[in-house]
Amino acid sequence: MEIIQKFGLEIKLLLFQIVNFLIIAFILKKFLYIPLKKILDERKHKIEQSLLESNNTKIILEGAKEERKKLLFEAKNNANTLIETAKVSIVEAKEKIIMETKRHSEQILDDAKQRAATEFKIMNNQIEKMSIDVSRKIILRVLSDLFSDDEKQKFISRALKKLDEKIKN
């Protein structure tokens, strides 16, 4: 104890300082260190959780990028397929329209030929009737001067019979 007194220390004061230090240490530990450690631990836990979520988000983002690439590739293929299908449909429709137009024009030509043939027959019949009519008139005028009435009648009736037979045939 002499050494302590040589240095100018008092035991009572030293004991009070040690007790004060222990009380302050206890108070600081109880009210400052433990809550502060708890806050720091919670913050550390939140940071770790954020890092985990960030890594998970990166993985999900990479998956989404791959899915996007896949969907774009499929969409491009589908678009190309649709374009090719449309081209084929257009070609088929064009060919169908051309065939229908050809068929329709051929039908119009056939109808025109039939009408022309019918009109030709009608005109031939009319010309034939007109020529027979003209022939009758000519025969009547010519024969009226050359023959008697009885001879004219016989000759006319024979000529008319032959003309009628021609008309019927």
For the chain, give every domain's residue range.
2-168
Neighbours of 38 (CB within 10 A): 10
The per-residue pLDDT for range 68-114, each reduced to its tens digit, is 999 999 999 999 999 999 999 999 999 999 999 999 999 999 999 99
Entry field: residues in the chain: 169
Q: Are 11 and 4 in contact (CB under 8 A)?
A: yes
The per-residue pLDDT for range 112-150, each reduced to its tens digit, is 999 999 999 999 989 988 887 887 788 777 766 777 778
At 4, is the pLDDT very low, low, confident or very high (cuts 50, 70, 90)?
A: low
Torsion of CA 68, 73, 79, 81, to 10 degrees: -150
Does residue 53 register a pLDDT over 90?
yes
Secondary structure letter of residue 115 according to DSSP: H
Residue 73: predicted pLDDT: 95
